[in-house]
Chain A
Amino acid sequence: MDGAGIVIVSHSGKLSTGLAELLHQVAPNVQVAVASASSETLGTSAESIRSAIFEVPQSHHVIVLFDLGSSLLNAEVALELLDSATQARVHLVDAPLVEGAVVAAVALQSGLSWEEAVRQAQNARMTPKIAT
């Protein structure tokens, strides 16, 4: 297992597809899948997260990033429903959604490991946006 892809879980379809667009610009070779409600409703579902995970090639690790509240609950349920081999390559990462996704995508694009991409996404929380 070598590469890794990213799954974006958001209550808003526009937010997740917009973020995927942004990631495509900075990391064109990184596979990004989105899981969210239809364009009419806001919310997340475990089923949509599960199918987004399977959009990433089976030979890849999957870095799952999520927005608010029930998106984590649903991601955890989706993970619970997977077989153990798939579970082992799916990683729920606690990170700010936009910043975390961008640094993870850039890390993967530059050939770094999935572990390093996860570490950088988690660290995005600590990186100030306004220099002091």
Chain B
Amino acid sequence: MNVEHVRAWLYGYRDRLTAVQGLLDELDNRIGDGDHGTNMLRGFRAACEHLGEAASPSEVLHKVSMGLLSTVGGASGPLYATAFLRMSQAWRGMEDISIKDLANGLNAALAGIQQRGGANVGDKTMVDVWAPATECISSDPTEHGVREASRAARQAALNTRQLVARRGRASYLGERSVGTCDPGSVSSAILFECLAITLVEGMEADPWTAQVL
């Protein structure tokens, strides 16, 4: 994965966010404050603005992180920003990122998300998606592993529907958060899907619709 691939991944993600913004807001409306889609789109639009100037994969991710940090929003901003910042640090000095390097970067990102948000698997947060998806690529650092990560991420996001929220705004709802998928898990699953689309030949976007969620 070179600098162009990393850019393509993030531009692809921004474009997908444009399509699912309303859906993410609707999910968040049920169990949070209703602005996850709006915040993610605003953040990634701003973050993608200056990626053309970045010369390496690490620099691209650093710019994304800084862009996310300067846009105003909820907890997702600093959490995604921390993830990209840690990945950027893991890739410092590298021009070409192997899938093994990708796994290292994702593990660093996941550790950053957990350190910052204090969430564990099962708390109905983005960690529920990042943990299994990262594990897929770490245990099988091939294109196949990347494709599996996308699949696992989607399933994990859908599985958050059954969980009781223990972190963030949704945790105020307790048991009433059951029945709605966690919006941060869905936006995370789409990030892993966009990664697979960038890296795996023939991989296509699986639509996220109100029926699926």
Q: Which A residues fall within an 8 A CB radius of B?
A: 37-38, 41, 43-48, 69-70, 73-74, 76-77, 80-81
A73 lies within 8 A of B72 (CB)? no
A45 lies within 8 A of B70 (CB)? yes
Decide if B77 is an interface residue (CB 8 Å cutoff): yes
Q: Which of B71, B85, B116 is the one whose CB lies under 8 Å from A73?
A: B116
B74 lies within 8 A of A76 (CB)? no
Task: Tell me whether chain A's interface is mostly helix, strand or loop, or mixed.
Answer: helix
For chains A and B in complex, what number of residue pairs have CB atoms within 8 angstroms?
Answer: 50
29 contacts across the A-B interface (CB closer than 8 A): A37-B72, A41-B72, A43-B39, A43-B72, A43-B73, A43-B74, A45-B69, A45-B70, A45-B77, A46-B69, A46-B77, A47-B66, A47-B69, A47-B70, A69-B74, A69-B169, A70-B75, A70-B77, A70-B78, A73-B116, A73-B117, A76-B78, A77-B69, A77-B78, A77-B81, A77-B82, A80-B82, A80-B85, A81-B69
Task: Tell me whether chain B's interface is mostly helix, strand or loop, or mixed.
Answer: helix
Q: Which residues from A are CB-within-8-Å of B70?
A: 45-47
Q: Roughly how many angstroms separate A58 CA and B61 CA in the complex, as a whole number? A: 30
* Closest residue on chain B to residue A40 by CB atoms: B72
Decide if B194 is an interface residue (CB 8 Å cutoff): no
Q: Roughly how many angstroms separate A6 CA and B39 CA in the complex, as a whole number? A: 28
B169 lies within 8 A of A38 (CB)? no
Q: Which residues from A are CB-within-8-Å of B81?
A: 46, 77
Distance between B199 CB and nearest chain A CB, rounded to angstroms? 28
